[in-house]
Every structure is written in C-alpha cells, then in structure tokens.
Amino acid sequence: MNTLSDLILALREGFGEGMELPLGFWYSDSAVVETEKGGGCFFKVLDETRGGVPVSLCAENISCGGGRLYTGYGEMPERVPEFVSGKERYKQSPEMVIEYVKSLEIKQPKPRYLNFARIDTLENLGCGIDEIDGLFFYATPDVLCGLVAWANFDINDEDAVSAPFGSGCSATITMAVRENERNGHRCFISLFDPSVRPWVAENELGFVIPRCRLKTMMKTLRSSCLFGTHAWGKVRDRISRPR
C-alpha cells in the first residue's frame, strides 16, 4: 500500500463506510485556497474541511495567539503564561507554562501556509502521501479503538500512542511536526483541551499519525486486527450503522 487511493480503500474496508476520512495537513509556500481570517480557535474552520473544502492557514488569518505560536507562525504572546495559568488554569503556574512551551522546541519560520484537506481531495490539490506532515482523524470511541490497535500492532513501545495535554493545535500540529523532525514512532491522541472542545462533537477525540510513522503503518494495516477478526468485526458493524 503506497498511495492515497490505496490508503482510502483500506480505511473504508477496515473501518467500514461509517468512518469519517481523516484530514491531511502540510506546510507549503503557497496557499491551496484563499481562507478568510476567523475569530478564535482555528478548529472552527476545519468543519468545512471535514466536508471536503480545504483551508490554508497562515499568520494573517489565524487570530488566536496560541494558534500562531503552536503552528510556528509567532512567538508566545507575553500574556499567555499568566492567562493559561491564572484564567484558564491549565497549568499551576506561569513558569510551568513557559517551561512547557520551551519543551516543545517550536521552530520558526515555517513555510507561509499550513493546509488541511480531506485525504480524498489531496490528489486534486497536487499533494501526495510524501508531502503531508500527518493525518488527523476525528475519532469516535470505536474508531479510536481501531486506530490505537493499528498503531500498536507492530511495536511494543509504551509510548507508541501518546496523549499529551495541550491546546488542540499543539497536541495535533506541534507534536506531529516535532515527531517528524526526530523521525520518531509515536502517534497522538488529541483534543483534550477544554478550550477546543466546543468545536468538537461530544463523542469525538483527535488521533494524529505523523508522516514518519504513516508509511510503516500503511504497510501493516491489512495485517492488523482491523481485517478479518471476530472482535473487530462487531465494532466495525457498529461504526457502519446509521447514526
């Protein structure tokens, strides 16, 4: 399995037609589409992408300071450590916020645009499997079950799937970019941040497969429990039921 078409077919077979296809995300020097500036969290506009409309984000149309920081388009605003600690109360102290952000090793500058597109639209945008930085799934518990099983199929490392706490953009984009830079092996469960939850369905979390892990996982998908096992068959049937 080497192409996007192969992957889409295998995902449809393994998870059933009820599974929502993931989004590919990647940086580029030019936008694939003009995207207007939105207010607040940029996960709001990803609803359009889930419906098949790509978006291209940049420093000019990401209004959230944290969103610009974690995508590599801006420095940390001075007010963020106190805001995250004192108002949002996600960390015990401003110093912990500063320490956390430093640990992410966010690198600048990035190519001007960060693009998102559903994977069945990528080839029409001239983007192949080798160009994307990662895949991002909106996953119900049953779909997440299958993704975690797939990610652990060929590896015994305890951190094969990691669940870092952070903003939706940091746990999705920053972690994937850093994992690619390290040529690592981790996948990530994301969207635990209460601030991003209003823009996500109540029964969904995020699951991220960085590019450095994707090529190997594409080779193992059809050998994993997602094909031809009794237990997964029951779950797959439930995923495929009309909601």
Q: In this predicted structure, what is the pLDDT of residue 1?
A: 64
Other C-beta atoms lying within 10 Å of the C-beta of residue 32: 20
Q: What is the mean pLDDT of each run of 10 residues along the chain (243 residues)?
A: 88 95 96 90 93 95 93 92 94 96 89 96 88 96 98 97 94 96 97 95 97 96 97 95 73
Q: In this predicted structure, what is the pLDDT of residue 240?
A: 87
Distance CA 182, CA 85 (A): 29
Q: What is the pTM of this model?
A: 0.95
Q: In this predicted structure, what is the pLDDT of residue 184?
A: 96
Q: For residue 132, which of 32, 231, 221 has the smallest C-alpha distance?
A: 32
Q: In this predicted structure, what is the pLDDT of residue 222?
A: 97
